[in-house]
């Protein structure tokens, strides 16, 4: 903690020198990424908090970190011993960053931010908000002189992701993109999101943990396409690939000079939520700016048939690995040696035995007992739990295969569950089934469906503090937009071809956590005089723990759903298993029969 | 129809003269009202379509009218014989106004609109959209020279609405408003919505049908408050009232000159969704503009205890009138003389017998058989239906009392209903119950709850093309914001104290329509570790037709709800009825007992 305090002192000295009263450091990078290369983990470096979401604000006399409910417990622990105050986002009583800043500063003072780390939209809204209190927002990289010994930028080579997996060539994708650009009257689009770039150019890499992306920018015009990427990351294979696809390659940071030389008659399509403010400022004043969501963001979210065939294959491999893992867990639990971290390693090992395994799609969340209540829990050496038969175990994990990406959560009882655990799990299951069996008209947004997953909980005054569903990439980010199912509004309409998770949960602080997660595929249902309807196909294929169910709380419809789901799991997965594994799965998939 | 064609020709001649290629005429007024004074019914005058929502666009060679699903059937009929094309808003295949205009015009052409008839936001977004195609938006009142013989502006006097009904004086309301202005750093607020003005100054009038508002503008500063209203509308009573409350009175149109003289250091709070562009343009360039939802809009939506006591009293009076009306209807149906229009008159008469009756809160929608499928149906002489025992009857009606405003829809079988009618009605009832019994955390928006009212329909590929719930004023507009429950997103959070309707429906074109509407009051439920929860109290007290129910489709929970509701209706209303009426109500409120 002393280290953190020293770092903050150094930053404050630099702030004083530059005449800056407050500094805002978000947990992102110039590409608006969720997972960051080490060289960009600025918020983590200055606070010690390593959650995937959170922003710290430091003034000369105070410091506060805002993060959401997934990280309340983790942040509390990691901030212990510092003077950084935890601000719990999403609670009505929590003051937001801008209002808080106004209570800390007076008119005439200046707030400094690194413009690379803020989107155009967030920069503009901060500026406007602060202006009201006559506080100035300054674009300045204060950490440049403070965090001097940084990790290097990743320099590993990346690879071409074959069309047999992607289903579409870069040329085909460029044609689709240009069609969208035309609709928006744009001549040029700047692309800064790493997964958009990986999708468009059919490349994958290892620059950050869990997201197989390549650090790069791109610029697409009506006849040209340029990727900006470090020379050292290129191989003969990728060089010739780009040549063949007609893609120009330039150095990573040359994007700035290329942007600054755009003709003033150019109309540039800018995704204000994603493009960083520094890049935006590089666009000449004379250019027309057309603000719209990145067309790639939308195109990428609709999976094609080749991608979907791959994903279905990945789901089967995942289920085989999960079967072997949980069998192993049951067999070895009595040893008393199993811990959250050790089982995560074993789970990874079972997944890696499967063909075309690329890596984990995120750090496994294995939360036993009260650790399960920490939504994005990552076990660490000194505090991890040993597994015993006293409580329940939540495991949220996923894999990347060349065929596609998986993400699954199951909660199982390691011994005899309590009545409350069974009730909570059954409420979560009711929500999971209600959402998974929804039918809805074309044009529906995720926020309209979210209540289906929560209603059983809300009816009893319960809730969970995270979203219900996120998109999933195809050998790309396990959290992929633009679709989502959450309480918050998201204007994106759910469309056939999208993949989205279904993961309601229930968390009792200091007791346990429950979550049930399957991935869903949006598919057409009937077309009636009231329009086209859509529904979900469940992609994930692994049994749900029946020991944690209060059967009387389920309707006949819900029991039928569960029995049918288990029958489908068994039918699909059993041919891939040996006899012993088969017996195990059969038992877990036994149909329940209401007496 | 010849008249409409002539008017359009005159407009086109004027457009030619002014060098305008297209003209957009919306169905609103300078106050963004839903119900208009006759002098402002421009869209109706030029098209013949008199629905409450719709915009016509006229070019030199084409004309098209956009309206929503409530008015598809009505607009089709009213546009017959003109060359105005009907554009069905909300259908995926329907092109929107701006994209359509771009297909009709070329770069360099000019579109003219009367800036008084467009909000600041809609004007700005049209301008931006058209600019992309290099089409210019011009502020010009083309109808000024075309619609020359207009109805006069309303000149009737208005009255002071007593504190014993409003619960708060104007001084108290001004204090609340100034608190909100301070939060937004605003010195001045321009108020243009007629119901905001009526609420703030505790006045009511008769300037438009059904909405007891007064045509006026207002300007509130930190120490002064000014109402801009026609001199001829003032009485000695209102003059002295304003004097006592410290409110300055000026002529209606003087708002323009007063605005134009604001000090350039002033920060003006502007509701971009409501203030008209012409008024906005009058604000001097030097002023700071603070865009935010009108604070009155929010303050007004939370009813105080005096208002709520009044509303509960109004609900009882409404139920008595409804009881007498439906008894009368049953007794006189056999005569064969009843028609949609005649029963609407009778219903009004029964309501007007009740104490403190002010008027109808909207034109009664009495739709028999296929007319019920026209969502905002208004019966007219040549096409209205006589009532027989062959079909079902939908009546949506409401009253203004000094105590408050009501709005209720019931659908009843006049003979033996068909199986499909009963199924449809039961699905609607299931939705009505599901929404009405919802419990939800503080911070929930209406769009999150909307699916509860639709799920039973969606499950069968059915839907209804209107919102599920709207706010209701207190002796003010029957459609009052900012809250709503709809498929569309509305960022307004549902708060304790708000009133909102619960009115799912089901419409079979050319067959029949079904709607069940009660008003709900949002009240606190329990507070748990997961936050404060809210729920609904049903305000409307009148039985739901049990002949139209398929009991096997209802769960025990739903049957219990209906039985409890009917018990409450009977208990509350029967003491206000005579013996015969009492017997009738008792029968309608009989509890159902699942055999």
Least confident of A301-305, B93-97, B448-452: B93-97
pLDDT of residue A481: 92
Asked whether residue B595 carries a pLDDT value surpassing 80, the answer given is no
Question: What's the pLDDT band for A379 if we cut at 50, 70, 90?
Answer: confident
Q: Which residue among A441, A455, A529 sits closest to B458, beta carbon to beta carbon? A: A441
| Nearest-angstrom CA–CA distance, B40 and B138 | 20
Asked if B578 and B324 touch (Cβ cutoff 8 Å), the reply is: no
From the list A55, A117, A50, A61, the residue with the least C-alpha distance to A274 is: A117
H helix runs in A106-210, sequence order: 120-132, 163-166, 170-183, 194-200
> pLDDT at residue A512 above 90?
yes
Q: How many CB atoms lie within 10 A of CB A538?
A: 19
Q: What is the DSSP letter of B374?
A: S
Could you report the per-residue pLDDT of A323-342, keeping only the tens digit for each?
999 999 999 999 999 999 99
Does the pLDDT of residue A93 top 90, yes or no? no
Q: What's the pLDDT score for residue A87?
A: 97
Q: Which residues contact B356 (CB under 8 A, 6 or more apart)?
A: B317, B401, B402, B403
pLDDT tens digits, B531-578? 999 999 999 999 999 999 999 999 999 999 999 999 999 999 999 999
Size of interface A-B (CB pairs under 8 A): 86
What is the predicted pLDDT for the residue at B382?
Answer: 80
Q: Is the pLDDT of residue A71 over 90?
A: no
For residue A220, the distance in angstroms to the closest alpha carbon of chain B comes to 20
The strand pairing partners of B258, in sequence order, are none
Q: Give residue B178's pLDDT band: very low, low, confident or very high (50, 70, 90).
A: very high
Mutation choice for B interface testing from A458, A466, A510 by most B CBs within 10 A: A458
Interhelix angle for B556-573 vs B305-332, to 10°? Answer: 90
A458–B443 CB contact, under 8 Å: no
Q: Do B439 and A461 touch (CB under 8 A)?
A: yes
pLDDT at B2 over 90: no
pLDDT tier at A65, thresholds 50, 70, 90: very high
In angstroms, how far apart are the furthest CA atoms of chain A? 76
Taking the C-alpha atoms of residue A8 and residue A14, their distance in angstroms, rounded to an integer, is 10
The answer on pLDDT for B323 being more than 80 is yes
CA distance to partner chain A, nearest, from residue B526 (Å)? 7
Cβ neighbours of residue B57 closer than 8 Å, sequence gap 6 or more: B22, B23, B24, B25, B63, B64, B65, B66, B97, B100, B101
Whether the CB-CB separation of A167 and A141 falls below 8 Å is answered with no
Helix axes B446-458, A446-458, angle to 10 degrees: 90
Q: Span B11-32, mean pLDDT? A: 96
Partner residue facing B489 (CB), from A455, A462, A491:
A491
Rounded Cα distance, A209 and A207, in Å = 7
CA distance, residue B207 to nearest chain A CA (Å): 38
pLDDT digits (tens, 9 = 90+) for B503-533: 999 999 999 999 999 999 999 999 999 999 9
Helices A120-132 + A97-104 axis angle, to 10: 40
Output Rg (C-alpha) for chain B, integer angstroms: 25
- Give the number of other Cβ atoms within 10 Å of residue B93's Cβ: 6
Q: What distance in Å separates residue B528's CA from the closest CA in chain A? A: 6
Q: Taking CB atoms and an 8 Å cutoff, what residues of chain A touch B440?
A: 451, 458
Distance (Å, rounded) from C-alpha A217 to C-alpha A369?
A: 43
Least confident of A114-128, A301-315, B373-387: B373-387
Partners of residue A269 on adjacent β-strands: A189, A290
Q: What is the mean pLDDT of residues B244-263?
A: 96
Does residue B418 carry a pLDDT above 90? yes
Residues facing residue B227 across a β-bridge: B218, B249
pLDDT of residue B52: 84
Phi-psi region of B94 (alpha: psi -120 to 50; beta: other; left: phi over 0): beta
**Contact predicate A498/A483, CB 8 Å:** yes
**pLDDT value of position B378:** 82
Q: B69 or A273: whose pLDDT is higher? A: A273
**Whether the predicted pLDDT of B340 surpasses 90:** yes
Half-sphere exposure of B572 (CA within 13 A, CB side): 22
With CB atoms and an 8 Å threshold, state whether A458 touches B440: yes
Average pLDDT across chain A, whole number: 96
B90: pLDDT confidence band, cut at 50, 70 and 90? confident
The answer to whether residues A517 and A540 touch, using CB atoms and an 8 Å cutoff, is yes
Name the pTM for this structure. 0.93
Using the 8-state DSSP alphabet, how is residue B193 labeled? -
Exposed, middle or buried by CB within 10 Å (0-12, 13-18, 19+), for A10?
Answer: middle
Give the chain A residue nearest B99 (alpha carbons).
A183
CB A57 within 8 A of CB A63: yes
Q: What are phi and psi of B570, to 5 degrees?
A: -65, -45
Sequence-distant (6+) residues with CB within 8 A of A206 are: A154, A156, A158, A212
- Asked if B216 and B196 touch (Cβ cutoff 8 Å), the reply is no
Q: Are A222 and A267 in contact (CB under 8 A)?
A: no
In 3D, which of A437, A439, A436 has the Cα closest to residue A525?
A439
pLDDT digits (tens, 9 = 90+) for A164-192: 999 999 999 999 999 999 988 899 999 99
Alpha-carbon gap, residue A484 to A297, rounded angstroms: 13
pLDDT of the residue at A374:
87
pLDDT, residue A378, reads: 82
Å from A183 to nearest chain B CA? Answer: 10
> What integer pLDDT is reported at residue B28 of this predicted model?
93
Q: Are strands A399-401 and A404-405 parallel, antiparallel or unpaired?
A: antiparallel
Contact (Cβ atoms closer than 8 angstroms) between residue A47 and residue A164:
no
In this structure, the number of other CB atoms found within 10 A of the CB of residue B57 comes to 24
Tally of CB atoms within 10 A around A161: 20
Closest CA to B419 of B511, B349, B284, B526: B511
From chain B, the residues in CB contact with A439 under 8 A are 458-459, 461
Judged against a pLDDT cut of 80, whether residue A1 lies above it is answered with: no
CA distance A188 to A270: 9
- Taking phi first (over 0 means left), then psi (-120 to 50 degrees means alpha), and beta for anything else, what does residue B54 get? left
Do A444 and B487 make contact, defined as CB atoms within 8 angstroms? yes
Q: What is the dihedral of CA A339, A344, A346, A349, to 10 degrees?
A: -170
Report the complex ipTM.
0.91
pLDDT band for A594, please (50, 70, 90 cuts): confident
Main-chain dihedrals φ then ψ at residue B337, nearest 5 degrees: -95, -10
Name chain B contacts of A447, Cβ cutoff 8 Å. Answer: 445, 447-448, 489
d(CA A94, CA A100): 10
pLDDT-based confidence at B408, cuts 50/70/90?
Answer: very high
- DSSP annotation of B153: P
Identity of the residue in B455, B461, B463 whose CB atom sits nearest the CB atom of A526: B461
How far is the CA of B460 from the CAs of A171, B427, B438, in angstroms? 42, 10, 22
Q: In what order do the strands lie in the sheet containing A217-221?
A: A247-250, A225-228, A217-221, A188-191, A267-270, A288-291
* pLDDT (mean) for A285-299: 94
- Percentage of chain B surpassing pLDDT 70? 100
Chain A residues touching chain B at CB-CB below 8 Å: 91-92, 132-133, 185, 290, 438-445, 447-452, 455, 458-459, 461-463, 487, 489, 491, 509, 525-526, 528-533
Average pLDDT of the segment spanning B376-398? 91
Query: What does the pLDDT read at residue A124?
Result: 96
Whether residue B376 has pLDDT greater than 90: no
Is the Cβ pair B447, A447 closer than 8 Å? yes
A-interface mutation test, from B91, B458, B508, B555, most A Cβ less than 10 A away: B458
Q: Give the C-alpha separation, A216 to B272, whole Å.
A: 40
- Condensed to tens digits (0 to 9), the pLDDT of residues B204-229 reads 999 999 999 999 999 999 999 999 99
- Beta-strand pair B505-508/A469-471: unpaired
Cβ <8 Å between A449 and B450: no
Name the residue facing B461 among A443, A444, A533 (closest C-beta): A533
B→A contacts (Cβ < 8 Å), by residue, are 91-92, 132-133, 185, 290, 438-445, 447-452, 455, 458-459, 461-463, 487, 489, 491, 509, 525-526, 528-533
Instruction: Give strand ranges (E) for B27-118.
Output: 55-59, 63-67, 84-88, 110-113
Min CA distance, A448 vs chain B (Å)? 5
Interatomic CA distance for residues A60 and A384, integer angstroms: 36
What digits encode the pLDDT tens for the residues A201-232?
Answer: 999 999 999 999 999 999 999 999 999 999 99
Burial of B563 (0-12, 13-18, 19+ CB in 10 A): middle
pLDDT digits (tens, 9 = 90+) for A394-427: 999 999 999 999 999 999 999 999 999 999 999 9
Contacts of residue B79, Cβ cutoff 8 Å, sequence gap at least 6: B47, B48, B49, B65, B86
A93, A375, A459: best to mutate for the B interface, most B CBs within 10 A: A459
3-state SS string over A291-321?
ECCCHHHHHHHCCCHHHHHHHHHHHHHHHHH
- Which of B92, B448, B533 is facing A450, going by the closest CB pair? B448
Residue B460's pLDDT band (boundaries 50, 70, 90)? very high
For A526, the closest chain B residue by CA position comes to B461
Q: At what angle do helices B419-436 and B556-573 cross, to 10 degrees?
A: 80
Short-list A383, A343, A384, CA closest to A364:
A343
What average pLDDT does this structure show over A355-370? 97
pLDDT at A351 over 80: yes
**A443: nearest CA in chain B?**
B92
Q: Mean pLDDT, to the nearest integer, of A480-500?
A: 97
Residues of B in contact with A487 (CB under 8 A): 443-444, 448
The pLDDT of residue A550: 98
| pLDDT tens per residue across span A436-479 | 999 999 999 999 999 999 999 999 999 999 999 999 999 999 99
Nearest Cβ partner for A448 among B450, B525, B526: B450
Which H helix or E strand runs over A521? strand A518-528
Angle at B344 between CA B463 and CA B370, to 5 degrees: 35
In this structure, what DSSP letter does residue B178 have?
A: H
Q: What percent of chain A has pLDDT over 70?
A: 100
Which helix (H) or strand (E) segment holds residue B360: the answer is strand B357-360
Mean pLDDT along residues A278-282: 96
Dihedral sign, Cα of residue B2, residue B8, residue B9, residue B11: positive
């Amino acid at each position: 903690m002393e280290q953190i305090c020293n770092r903050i002192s150094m930053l404050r000295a630099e702030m004083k020198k530059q005449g800056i009263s407050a500094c805002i450091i978000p947990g992102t990078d110039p590409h608006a990424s969720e997972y960051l290369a080490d060289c960009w983990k600025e918020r983590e470096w200055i606070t010690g908090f390593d959650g995937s979401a959170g922003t710290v604000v430091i003034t000369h006399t105070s410091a506060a970190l805002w993060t959401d409910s997934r990280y309340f417990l983790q942040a509390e622990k990691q901030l212990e011993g510092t003077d950084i105050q935890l601000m719990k986002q999403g609670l009505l009583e929590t003051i937001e960053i801008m209002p808080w800043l106004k209570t800390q500063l007076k008119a005439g003072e200046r707030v400094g931010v690194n413009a690379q780390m803020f989107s155009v939209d967030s920069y503009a809204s901060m500026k406007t908000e602060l202006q009201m209190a006559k506080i100035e927002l300054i674009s300045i990289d204060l950490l440049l002189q403070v965090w001097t010994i940084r990790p290097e930028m990743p320099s590993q080579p990346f690879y071409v992701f074959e069309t047999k997996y992607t289903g579409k060539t870069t040329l085909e994708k460029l044609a689709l993109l240009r069609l969208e650009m035309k609709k928006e009257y744009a001549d040029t689009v700047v692309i800064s999101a790493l997964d958009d770039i990986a999708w468009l150019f059919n490349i994958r890499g290892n620059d950050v943990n869990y997201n197989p992306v390549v650090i790069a920018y791109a610029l697409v015009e009506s006849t040209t396409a340029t990727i900006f990427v470090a020379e050292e990351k290129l191989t003969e294979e990728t060089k010739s690939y780009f040549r063949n696809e007609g893609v120009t390659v330039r150095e990573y940071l040359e994007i700035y000079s290329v942007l600054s030389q755009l003709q003033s008659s150019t109309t540039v399509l800018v995704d204000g939520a994603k493009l960083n403010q520094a890049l935006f400022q590089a666009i000449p004043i004379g250019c027309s700016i057309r603000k719209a969501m990145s067309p790639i963001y939308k195109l990428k979210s609709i999976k094609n048939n080749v991608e979907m065939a791959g994903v279905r294959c990945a789901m089967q491999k995942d289920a085989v690995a999960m079967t072997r893992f949980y069998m192993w867990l049951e067999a070895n639990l009595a040893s008393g040696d199993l811990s959250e971290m050790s089982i995560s390693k074993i789970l990874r090992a079972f997944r890696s035995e499967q063909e075309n395994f690329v890596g984990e799609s995120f750090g496994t969340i294995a939360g036993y007992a009260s650790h399960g209540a920490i939504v994005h829990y990552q076990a660490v050496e000194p505090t991890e739990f040993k597994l015993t038969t006293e409580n329940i175990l939540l495991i949220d994990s996923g894999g990347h295969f060349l065929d596609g990406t998986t993400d699954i959560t199951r909660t199982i009882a390691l011994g005899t569950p309590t009545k409350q655990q069974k009730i909570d799990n059954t409420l979560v299951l009711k929500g999971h089934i209600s959402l998974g069996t929804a039918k809805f008209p074309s044009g529906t947004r995720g926020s309209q469906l979210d209540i289906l997953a929560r209603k059983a909980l809300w009816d009893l005054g319960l809730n969970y503090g995270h979203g219900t569903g996120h998109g999933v990439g195809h050998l790309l980010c396990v959290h992929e937009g633009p679709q989502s199912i959450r309480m918050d509004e998201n204007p994106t309409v759910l469309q056939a071809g999208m993949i989205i998770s279904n993961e309601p949960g229930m968390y009792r602080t200091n007791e346990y956590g429950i979550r049930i997660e399957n991935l869903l595929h949006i598919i057409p249902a009937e077309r009636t005089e009231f329009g086209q309807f859509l529904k979900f196909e469940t992609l994930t294929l692994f049994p749900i723990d029946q020991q944690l169910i209060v059967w009387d709380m389920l309707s006949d419809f819900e029991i039928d759903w569960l029995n049918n789901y288990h029958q489908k799991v068994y039918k699909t997965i059993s041919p891939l298993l040996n006899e012993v594994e088969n017996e195990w799965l059969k038992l877990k998939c036994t149909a329940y029969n209401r007496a």
